[in-house]
Amino acid sequence: MLHQFLHDNREEILVRARARVGKRLAPKPTQEELLHGIPVFLDELTHILEGGLERSEKIDSDATIHGEVRQKMGFTVAQVVHDYGDLCQVVTQLAIELRAPIDTDEFKTLNRCLDDAIAMAVTEYGRLRERTISEDEVQRLGFLAHELRNHLHTAQLSYEILKSGTVGIGGRTGAVLGRSLLGLKILVDRTLAQVRLDSGLDRPERLVVAQFLEEVEVAGSIEAKEHGVSLSVDRGDLTVAVEADRQLLGSAVANLLQNAIKFTPKSGNVHIHSAATQERVIIEVGDECGGLSFGQAEEFFSVSRPKPQESTGLGLGLKISKRAVESMGGTLQARNRVGIGCVFTIDLPRLRRR
């Protein structure tokens, strides 16, 4: 009987199911992945086959929880389906190996319950995903509107004072106007980068890294001077090139540079360094912010819900930068220099000469 087979071989089924899921390449599954949903589902399935449950409401409930857990953990809808599909494959294969006396009707019940569970899990996954997307979009638009209003209000007040002629453009009021306009530019660049990432409208081209960083240095030097910090740039070899979207890479590097300048105290130094191997190109942006607390570097790129630093745009900007770099086949990581500052490293594939 199938219910007895499931009961007697419960641990072996779960071990094999975990092994199948463990072969998944991306994202790399964790041991916790099968601790929710499937073991309970297997037990309830056993009870149904025993005749202990006439209906599958409990199966639906467990599948709903399964879909919710997977969505919150960041897994795709395909992986939600695979969790149940793997279980079905394991049960069938093990039954064949052990030549278990299972009749056709029991296999039909097994497949029906699996189909129901998959449907419920996918439905819940989709419902929660749509709700999360909606909430995230509202939050992003709210942040954008709030920051735009603040910068525009400050710029307008500064302009009105300057227009009156009581102060000169070279004084503090002019500097306030400049910072407000710069803030608006950052917001627009960041929003355009996010729109291009979401819509897939990237335009890769050959970029000579040294020339690209020269453009970054021109704009960065002005901002660094405004904040009273020095900026040093090592542009590297003129023969080194990458294939990248100029706007997306520019947005990522500019965001890292703006953060570095913002958090480096007056008279401090911000540096940009470029290096290359035969296969990779490295662009580093380092500051003298004093270093990060334990684990803070990892939190910058967390996929969890927004943290307090994102209210200033720091966390949001870094996540957009990370997405931009990854869309070009690279990685973005943070390294802490205790008591000194931190270094953000962009690692991209090097473009070979043709």
CATH of the domain at 271: 3.30.565.10
Choose one of 134, 157, 189: the last residue of a domain.
Answer: 134
Given this model, what pLDDT does residue 156 score?
A: 82
Domain assignment present for 195: no
Q: What is the mean pLDDT of the chain?
A: 76
135 CB contacts (<8 Å, ≥6 apart)?
none
Tell whether 206 and 332 lie within a shared domain: yes
| Distance, CA of 108 to CA of 124 (rounded, Å) | 24
Tell whether 209 and 124 lie within a shared domain: no
Domain assignment present for 119: yes
Query: Structural domain tally of the chain?
Result: 2
Tell whether 247 and 341 lie within a shared domain: yes
The residue among 251 and 133 whose pLDDT is bigger is 251
Domain assignment present for 161: no
Name the amino acid, one letter, at 164. S
Tell whether 244 and 105 lie within a shared domain: no
Rounded mean pLDDT of 135-158?
71
Tell whether 111 and 228 lie within a shared domain: no
Tell whether 319 and 209 lie within a shared domain: yes
Given this model, what pLDDT does residue 104 score?
A: 78
Which of the residue ranges 146-155, 156-165, 342-351 would you say has the lowest mean pLDDT? 146-155
Tell whether 208 and 345 lie within a shared domain: yes
Query: Residue 57 sits in a domain of what CATH number?
Result: 1.10.490
Report pTM. 0.51
Rounded mean pLDDT of 4-29?
78
For residue range 182-210, list pLDDT tens digits in order. Answer: 778 777 877 777 777 766 666 888 999 99
Domain housing 340: 202-349
Tell whether 116 and 220 lie within a shared domain: no
Residue position matching structure tokens 């997306």: 248
Tell whether 320 and 240 lie within a shared domain: yes
Domain assignment present for 141: no
Domain assignment present for 298: yes
pLDDT band at 310 (very low <50, low <70, confident <90, very high): very low
For residue range 41-79, list pLDDT tens digits in order. Answer: 677 667 766 764 444 555 555 555 555 555 455 555 555
Which of the residue ranges 171-180, 223-232, 256-265 would you say has the lowest mean pLDDT? 171-180
For residue range 209-222, list pLDDT tens digits in order. Answer: 999 999 888 878 87
Choose one of 134, 153, 185: the last residue of a domain.
Answer: 134
Tell whether 218 and 336 lie within a shared domain: yes
Given this model, what pLDDT does residue 277 score?
A: 92
| Distance, CA of 105 to CA of 309 (rounded, Å) | 57
Choose one of 134, 152, 184: the last residue of a domain.
Answer: 134
Tell whether 124 and 224 lie within a shared domain: no
Tell whether 207 and 341 lie within a shared domain: yes
